[in-house]
DNA sequence: CATTAATTGAGACTTTATCTCAATAGTGTA
DNA sequence: TACACTATTGAGATAAAGTCTCAATTAATG
């Protein structure tokens, strides 16, 4: 249950490996999977890519999108908490800037005696382009 | 990209293997993972368990919970569309009977030109038991 | 009973991610 | 600058979760 390979909550040293990864993440157009990112950086080991991605998530410097079916995609930035619209046809991902789910989740939480730590909301459907193609 | 092993949208024959799986699902107290279910049924192959689970999801006879971190748990029933409260301490999962997210997601969708097909919402936090233990 | 197609089992395979551990390389201090 | 300390890395093993293949079985139909 406990990981020996402790994942860093923050970076304590700046390294060229991480610079390489960060640059690739920042420059990436749109969303990417861990595998795509790793594949684009043959000089960096997969483990380092995953470690960096994990650390960045904790610091909310990247946002994570759970695509229906279980795949995970990332994007640099996103800034504050937000959600996504995922097109089931073309895979496009749009950010939903405002999170209306906060007030909603608070209401639910008090009704069930829960203290909410976080929530996960993604909307799946068809973007304006794809829905006209049927 | 295309699956050769076509997953059934509905069952066309009734078999004893499926009866065994169904009984186990129905009798399972609380939520279970595919692996737990399969492990409890040594006479049934893993593939059949996964196939049955997939088919049941399409018919909404079981509900699927995405636990934070990426694991998936299931439960028989649930009936109509709903969401979950997941306790990050003890793992307890509570159903949220009403889905207030529908109207919310419609609003978002029209704002972004999307047609919504489905959505995924889970709340994570601490149940009334666990939050007093800090 | 014979035919036909759905279903199954077993195990190989895939994908995504984590772990191990020795080697490497930042950083603060002497 | 050199040293010591420890964070970080790479490479490959391993793990978790699920899918695929395909031959064998078996339910349903006539």
Tokens of B64: 């699927």
Residues linked to residue A124 through DSSP beta bridges, in sequence order: A86, B118
Contact in structure between A96 and B112 (CB atoms under 8 Å): yes
DSSP code of residue A128: T
In this prediction, residue B124 has a pLDDT band, given cuts at 50, 70 and 90, of: very high
Domains assigned to chain B: 1-79 (1.10.10.10), 80-134 (3.30.1490.190)
* Minimum Cα–Cα distance from B111: chain A residue: A96
Question: For A125, which of B68, B115, B128 is closest by C-beta distance?
Answer: B115
Query: Is A99 a residue whose pLDDT tops 50?
Result: yes
Angle at A117 between CA A111 and CA A119, to 5 degrees: 85
| Beta pairing class for A115-126 and A83-87 | parallel
pLDDT tens-digit readout, A31-73: 999 999 999 999 999 999 999 999 998 888 899 999 876 789 9
State which of A13-22, A99-108, A109-118, B1-10 shows the largest mean pLDDT. Answer: A13-22
Strand C bases contacted by the protein (CB, 7 Å): 6-12, 15-21, 25-27
> What's CA B92's distance to the chain center, in Å?
14
Contact in structure between B74 and B65 (CB atoms under 8 Å): yes
Q: Distance between CA atoms of A122 and A84, rounded to whole angstroms?
A: 5
Report chain B's mean pLDDT, rounded to a whole number. Answer: 88
* pLDDT score, position B78: 73
Classified as helix, coil or strand, A15 is coil
Min Cα distance A66 → chain B (Å) is: 9
Q: Which residues of B touch A64 (CB under 8 A)?
A: none
pLDDT tens-digit readout, B7-29: 456 799 999 999 999 999 999 99
* pLDDT score, position A133: 65
Q: Distance between CA atoms of A73 and A115, rounded to whole angstroms?
A: 28
């Amino acid at each position: 249950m406990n990981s020996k390979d402790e994942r860093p909550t923050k970076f304590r040293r700046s390294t060229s490996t991480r610079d390489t990864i960060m640059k690739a993440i920042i420059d990436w157009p749109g969303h990417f999977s861990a595998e795509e990112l790793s594949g684009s950086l043959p000089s960096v080991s997969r483990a380092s890519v995953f470690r960096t991605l994990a650390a960045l998530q904790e610091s909310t410097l990247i946002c994570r999108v759970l695509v229906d079916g279980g795949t995970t995609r990332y994007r640099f930035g996103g800034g504050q908490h937000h959600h996504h619209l995922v097109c089931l046809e073309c895979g496009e991902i749009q950010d939903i800037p405002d999170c209306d789910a906060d007030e909603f989740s608070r209401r639910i939480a008090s009704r069930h005696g829960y203290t909410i730590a976080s929530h996960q909301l993604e909307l799946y459907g068809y973007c304006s382009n794809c829905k006209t193609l049927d």
